Amino acid sequence: MAYTACDVLRSSRISRQALAHVACVLRAEPKTTATMRERHKAERENKDEAVMKSLNKRFGMLHGLSSLANLLGLGLAHCHLWHLASRLQ
Q: Does 24 map to a domain? A: yes
Read off the pLDDT of residues 21-49 as tens digits, 9 standing for 90 and up: 887 888 888 999 999 999 999 989 988 89
Residue 20 — very low, low, confident or very high, per pLDDT cuts 50/70/90?
confident
Q: What is the residue-averaged pLDDT of the chain? A: 83
The tally of domains found in the chain comes to 1
56 within a domain of the structure (yes/no): yes
In sequence order, which residues have a C-beta less than 8 Å from that of residue 79 and are 6 or more positions away? 13
Give the predicted TM-score (pTM) of the model: 0.72
Domain assignment of residue 6, yes or no: no
Which residue from 85, 50, 62, 11 is spatially nearest to 19, judged by alpha carbons?
A: 11
Identify the pLDDT of residue 78: 84
